Amino acid sequence: MATIAPAKATIPTATAMPAGSQTALPLHVLDVETYNAIVASGALEGRNVELLDGVLVEMSPQGPAHAQAIILLTRLFASASAWLMVQLPLEVAPDSQPEPDIALLARRPPPGRHPRTALLVIEVAVTSQIIDRDVKGPLYARAGVPTCWLIDLPARTVEVYTQPSDHGYARCERHRADAKLACGLPGVPEIDLAALFDDLAA
């Protein structure tokens, strides 16, 4: 897959209609270089946001079910022969820096730089299914992540996305709670989804 060089400046690419207004205002999207400079300045300190398609998007607060899922998944993947990353940025040039709940990396990223791809990313959704599926999923595909999981806690299902391209994932398989799911990475046992969801509901 061709490497896309990060943009050097912000550019207007969209418009927004303020409440009560009949005038569409141009939006100036951020590239990852500008966003990281803003983060380094401390201007976003304490703000729970991530950069998606050039726009700062507020991340959903973590309820107990979401937090418990992250704890369990961290334990499940701790034995993987890969670098485990929990809720940390993945740089998708030129204009996105999502923070997947779980990411497994083939190698440690170079110092001073966020990783730009992963072997597997996992998003846990309680209310964020649309953003995780329709916005973040295509970004992970664009980054060349071969497999993306969306764990839908209310539906007790796991959507497994594969065959990435610049236009998104070409294949999706939906696994229900009675299935067993293998991630295909050395050191990670097959996951009993029924046991996982029952543990989260306990």
Domains of the chain by residue range? 11-201
**Of all residues in the chain, what percent carry a pLDDT higher than 70?**
89
Read off the pLDDT band of 10 (50, 70, 90): very low
Mean pLDDT of 58-81: 91
Establish whether the linkage from the previous residue to 146 is cis, with ω within 30° of 0. no
**For the whole model, what pTM was predicted?**
0.86
* Burial class (CB within 10 angstroms; exposed 0-12, middle 13-18, buried 19+) of 185: middle
Contact 125, 157 (CB under 8 A): no
Q: Are strands 25-29 and 11-16 parallel, antiparallel or unpaired?
A: antiparallel
The amino acid at 173: E
CATH T-level fold of 11-201: tt1808, chain A (3.90.1570)
Both tokens of 185, joined, read 């990475």
Phi then psi for 39, rounded to 5 degrees? -60, -45
Contact 14, 27 (CB under 8 A): yes
